[in-house]
Every structure is written in structure tokens, then in C-alpha cells.
Amino acid sequence: MKSEIVIVGAGISGTAIAYNLAIRGMKDIVVVDQGYLTAGSTGRCGAGVRQQWQTMANCTMAKKSIEFFEHAAETLHYDEDIEFKQEGYLILACTAAEVEQFQKNVALQNSLGIPSKVVSKEEALKIVPHLNPDAFISATYCRTDGHLNPFKMTDAYYQAGKKLGVTYLFGERVERIDVEQGRIQRVVTDKRTIETARVVDAAGGYAKEVGELAGVRIPVYAERHEILVTEPIEKMQGPMVMSFSQNLYCQQVPHGAFIMGRTTPNEPHGHDLSSSWQFLDAMAKTVCKFLPKVGELHAIRQWAGSYCMSPDRQPILGPTDQLEGFYLACGFSGHGFMFAPMTGVLLAEMILGLPTTLPVEDLLIDRFKKQTTTVYEKSVV
């Protein structure tokens, strides 16, 4: 088999990149995934989309991506519902330091055209009445943030790509990437050999290992993150409720279920995706403190996925001088779903040598060569 490009990974990133290359005219695009559509983090994520970030690169990636989500079904000619719910994110300030930092964040966000604002405790309680008033000081709110169905959003990119001729190979593991004289020759899976000069590493939690197959070193690691879902009930919460310092996100999806997660401290690096009682205990306590009414619901499933962590918690996108023809789309550090529309656009533009829609300097792997990197995204759970 021959191809112009092999994309490793059929998550939201790989499917978005494939579509964006195909719509710009590239032929013979092959996407390989060892599992099924959304087998990686994409099918395990909270699928929240927000623009309330602390670095310029993250803010603009998120803002442009939300503009895409607003018209995604029409743009991709997708018949099913992608369930885009745009009822905002309410981010709680629980310490004096957060109150101060959030003012700066909102100033940056507003300067980039993101309609976030600082809200008092009273205003926050109007937006989410069942919040425990004693658990936070104030909050920030951005009404255009929201949530999508990750399976359907990925399926939309997948189907649009297929209509443009993208080939998908599922249940096939990339085991070798052969490089001779500094050039990629072929990708070898457990089922076939694909002649190609270009590879995109969109392997999520396994991005580092896929890089190693081609001798490319990527400064990322995988970390387990756990999450759970409750039984569905009538609508009672519009926005995602989040706290960085208290380590919580909790959202009611249109289907009626609540989805919630938090980071388990000192999680070892690696690919363990089992479910732990430590997470469950801490999650239950945290949600009962902040959203006592939600604590009355039955949890019905607990699962886990990978965050692909980069040194500055911002994505690593584009080419690398370590190997010609090798492109990265990884290091999303737990927020790659919401950035995917721009990941797809920027990767396609860089691969095809087109001018990029956004400045990419802060996203290239080369940024880690400079010792002076001071930008560091801290608004993460």
C-alpha cells in the first residue's frame, strides 16, 4: 500500500487533521488506529470546551475552535446531533490568589475577544443555584464555553474525511516507522506495510512511543486521569463548574447525566487505565462539598484515560528538525478535545506549506530548546 501521509491515531486530533488535509486537496491519506474510532483519550474525556485560559496560545486555539464547533455540523455535512451545549463554564475562585489571578486571566481573555467576566458569589449562585455558597469566594464565567458529544464530534470528522477519500484502518497497530538516510520510507503495522514519506503522530497517550519508533524524542509523558458518570436526571445545571485549586470539574450533559473528574495527586507516569477507589473517595467528597445536590445521585460508571503531558502544558504541534516529514500533534495535557478544530487546521497548513491561521511559534517543539520559556499554563485540572 502507498500513501501521501500516514496519520497514527483516530481520535479527535487524527480525524480532524485527516479531514483538513483532504479538504485542502491532499489525496491518499491513511489513518491507522490500533483500536476503534475514539479508542484513546477522545472516547474517555469530559469533552468540555472552554476559552478561559491563562496563556495567549491556549486562549486563541480555544476561541477559534469554538467558532468552528458553532457551525461544525453544517460545515462537515453531518446529519446527526453533535450535542453542542453552549451554557458556559463557571470557574470558582477559592483562594485569594485565585481571585487575583482570575482578574488577570479575564483581562487577557477579553483582550482576545473572549466574552468572559468576573462574577460575584451572588451572581454565581444565580447561574448555578445548587452551589455551596461557603465553598468559594467568587468566580469567572464565559457563556460561550460548553460541551459536545465526543463520539459524535469525532464521527463527524471521520465521516467527512471518508467522503473526501480518506482511508481508515482500524484494529491495526503501527509497529515500525522505517527511516533511511534521514527520510521516512514506510510505516509497518501488524497487518501491512504502507510506503510513505510523511507521518503524523496523533497517538495521544502513546505519542512518545510512536515518536520513538521513528527515532524522534518528544518531551511528553502519559498520566492516568479518572472520571465518572451518574444516572441521568432532569436538567438542573447549565454550565460546567470547575475549580483549579480544589481540583474539580462537574458538568451535566444534555442527556441528563453528570460527568465529573479530578486529578489524583502523585499519579505515576504510565499507561495504567484501571479504576481506583482513591479517586472515587476523593471525587465523592469533593462533589458533595461543592455541589451537595449532585452528591445525591447514583454514580453508575467510573473509567480512566490518558493525559499526554507536555512541559508547559500547551500542545506540541507541527514539524520537528529531528526528522523531515514527521509531524507532531500531541502534548495536549488534558485539553486536546477542545483544541482539535485548530489542531486540524494548523497541522494541515504546516504540512502543506500554507500560511498558518494562527501564530505557531509557541506550539512548535523547538520552543523547548530555549531555556527562557516562561509561559506556563496553570489553569488546568
Partner 1 sequence: MHDDHVILCRCEDVTLGDVRRMLAAGYVTVEDLKRQLRIGMGPCQGTTCGLLLQREVASFLKKSPEDVPIAKARPFVVGVTLKAIAEAADEE
Ligand X SMILES: Cc1cc2nc3c(=O)[nH]c(=O)nc-3n(C[C@H](O)[C@H](O)[C@H](O)COP(=O)(O)OP(=O)(O)OC[C@H]3O[C@@H](n4cnc5c(N)ncnc54)[C@H](O)[C@@H]3O)c2cc1C
Q: Toward ligand X, which CB reaches closer, 136 or 337?
A: 337
Q: Which of 37, 45, 216, 350 binds partner 1 (CB under 8 A)?
A: 37
257 phi/psi in degrees, rounded to 5: -75, 150
Polymer length of the chain = 381
Spatial distance between the Cα atoms of 13 and 336, rounded to a whole number of angstroms? 8
**What 3-state class would DSSP assign to 100?**
helix
- Taking CB under 8 A as the binding criterion, the range among 20-28, 64-72, 129-137, 293-301 that sits at the site for partner 1 is 293-301
- Taking CB under 8 A as the binding criterion, the range among 22-30, 147-155, 179-187, 318-326 that sits at the site for partner 1 is 147-155
From the list partner 1, ligand X, none, partner contacted by residue 294 (C-beta under 5 to 8 A by kind): partner 1
Cβ atoms of 151 and 159 closer than 8 Å: no
- Taking CB under 8 A as the binding criterion, the range among 108-116, 151-159, 203-211, 316-324 that sits at the site for partner 1 is 151-159
Q: Which of 4, 35, 178, 238 binds partner 1 (CB under 8 A)?
A: 35
**CB under 8 Å to 366, separation ≥6 — which residues?**
320, 321
Residues of this chain that interact with ligand X (CB under 6 A) are: 8-14, 32-35, 39-42, 44-48, 173-174, 202-206, 210, 225, 227, 261, 305-307, 332, 334-338
Q: Toward partner 1, which CB reaches closer, 67 or 281?
A: 281
Spatial distance between the Cα atoms of 264 and 305, rounded to a whole number of angstroms? 12
From the list partner 1, ligand X, none, partner contacted by residue 261 (C-beta under 5 to 8 A by kind): ligand X
CB of 233 to partner 1, least distance (A): 11
- Residue 254 within binding range of partner 1, rule CB under 8 A: no
Cβ atoms of 301 and 230 closer than 8 Å: no
Spatial distance between the Cα atoms of 342 and 335, rounded to a whole number of angstroms? 12
Closest CA to 327 of 296, 301, 360: 360
- Residue 300 within binding range of partner 1, rule CB under 8 A: yes
Q: Toward ligand X, which CB reaches closer, 100 or 195?
A: 195
Q: Toward partner 1, which CB reaches closer, 121 or 162?
A: 162
Sheet order of strands, 89-93 included:
116-119, 138-142, 89-93, 240-243, 248-252, 258-262, 221-230
Spatial distance between the Cα atoms of 146 and 238, rounded to a whole number of angstroms? 9
Tell me which residues touch partner 1 (CB under 8 A).
35-39, 43, 151-152, 155, 230-232, 255, 275, 280-285, 287-288, 292, 294-303
